[in-house]
Amino acid sequence: MSDTNVVVTYLISTVMTSIPNPASAPSSSSIWTIVVAAGSGSRFGGAIPKQFVQIAGRSVLMWSLHHAAAMSDGIVVVLPADIEADDEPPNVVSQTPVIRATGGASRSASVRAGLAQVPDDASVVLVHDAARPVASSELFRRVAHAVSQGADAATPSVAVIDTIKTVDGGHVDRSTLRAVQTPQGFAADVLRMVHAAGEHATDDATLVARAGRRVVDVEGERWNIKLTEPADEAVIAGLVTRSGQTAPMHASPTHRDGSP
């Protein structure tokens, strides 16, 4: 190689390493993701917790970790105390470091166990259900972006498409409803503050809203379903291999006039 080539090669490699990975946009702030995988999967049933079931060649947990890794500087995966050795996730997924924590009796307790392992200098913390293996990296990016723009919390949600009634036959106007998903994003100090109280909720944004802080809505993904009952497995198997694409099928609204 000539001297000129050596210099050019050096310059190119210097530029390449200094250009931020587009997947790690939107800012230089540190983004950590907590993936909660410590549940027992009682509604799903089966011999092992649902997050360790293999779908299309990978466990449900590993699909979730791969989608989270593209947008995270680091991941904390929260696992059951009695996890089988074969189910242990690796220390690195797609070059993103993965730290383990042991979960608690409720989802909120598991998030708190994960949060305790997030480095102090993380500015944005995303929380994701391991049981949602189809959430795309693009969704993680949207949620993180909303927080980096100043929201205390950001939740992806989709319109409710079924007609909804109460168990005693009452009608509920579905246009007033949204189905909330994960990943949810938080300013790290806000998430730490709401969890310090030790309260419980089915998601973390509920705790933020209860504390009177600002939760913004981000368009979710219609296909981002949670593996909950046995029938969900076949649906997820059909979707999960498409979810690595950056811009898969687009989400709601579904009406031509833009109404939900």
State which of positions 128-157 bind ligand CTP (CB under 6 A). 129-131
| Encoded amino acid at 62, one letter | M
**Residue among 28, 42, 95, 166 that touches ligand CTP (CB under 6 A):** 42
State which of positions 103-122 bind ligand CTP (CB under 6 A). 103-107, 110
**Residue among 36, 70, 139, 143 that touches ligand CTP (CB under 6 A):** 36
Distance CA 187, CA 35 (A): 16
| Encoded amino acid at 51, one letter | Q
Question: What is the Rg, in whole angstroms, of the alpha carbon atoms belonging to the chain?
Answer: 20
**Residue among 51, 59, 136, 148 that touches ligand CTP (CB under 6 A):** 51
**Nearest distance, CB of residue 24 and ligand CTP, angstroms:** 24
Q: Give whichever of 49 and 145 is closer to ligand CTP, judged by the CB atom.
A: 49
**Residue among 43, 210, 214, 242 that touches ligand CTP (CB under 6 A):** 43
Buried b (16+ CB within 10 A) or exposed e, 115-145: bebbeeebbbbbbbbbbbbbbbbbbbbbbbb
Strands of 22-95 (E only): list them.
Answer: 31-36, 54-55, 58-59, 74-79, 92-93
**Nearest distance, CB of residue 90 and ligand CTP, angstroms:** 18
Cα 195 → chain centroid: 18
**Nearest distance, CB of residue 129 and ligand CTP, angstroms:** 4
Q: Give whichever of 94 and 102 is closer to ligand CTP, judged by the CB atom.
A: 102
State which of positions 207-226 bind ligand CTP (CB under 6 A). 226
**Residue among 78, 143, 144, 239 that touches ligand CTP (CB under 6 A):** 78
Residue 91 near residue 77 (C-beta atoms within 8 A)? no
State which of positions 85-104 bind ligand CTP (CB under 6 A). 103-104
* x-or-dash string of contact with ligand CTP, 150-189, rule CB under 6 A: ----------------------------------------
Looking at beta carbons, which pairs linking 103-110 to residues 24 or more positions away fall under 8 Å? Answer: 103/36, 103/37, 103/38, 103/39, 103/78, 103/79, 104/38, 106/200, 107/36, 107/39, 107/200, 107/202, 107/203, 108/195, 108/199, 108/200, 108/201, 108/204, 108/207, 109/200, 110/36, 110/38, 110/39, 110/78
**Residue among 40, 54, 149, 245 that touches ligand CTP (CB under 6 A):** 40
Q: Give whichever of 230 and 253 is closer to ligand CTP, judged by the CB atom.
A: 230
Which residues of the shown chain bind ligand CTP in the complex (CB under 6 A)?
36-44, 51, 78, 103-107, 110, 129-131, 226, 228
